[in-house]
Amino acid sequence: MSAQRAQAQAALTIALPVDGLTVIAPLPETLTQRNVEAVTGLSPADYLRAVKDPAFPLPVRRVGRLRVVDRVAFVAWLRSEERRAPQPIAPAAAPTPVPANDAPDLVGEVLADEGLQRAPTSPKPARKPR
């Protein structure tokens, strides 16, 4: 009886909404300009610029017009380049804004030091709504 159970098959049909499915495919072994953005987030133009550079350290295979590199090696190279890139300097804290009525007229002071004065400004006309 157990031999019959091992060979028995059952058919099953399940109705699922399409938005309820998630297809998970393995990552490709190689990268091309066609799939690099989906795997690494790097634009195809940046990928091509990198692999065409004579200083690019990884082997590049040509398949027709495509340039193909090993995915694992390329991602490792990107991470090493990211670590070598200079870290941005944190921006200085913005000065506390001075209310307009209390703000010193620095431009006026510079102009006065040079013997000049600010030209009178007329208010800009309001734009008509379209």
Contact 33, 62 (CB under 8 A): no
Task: Give residue for tokens 């190689």.
Answer: 30
Write the pLDDT tens digit of every residue in 13-46: 888 787 877 778 787 888 888 888 777 788 888 8
Write the pLDDT tens digit of every residue in 65-95: 888 889 888 888 888 877 776 656 556 555 5
Residue 106 confidence (pLDDT): 60
Structure token digits, residue 42: 């790097």
Average pLDDT, stretch 8-14?
80
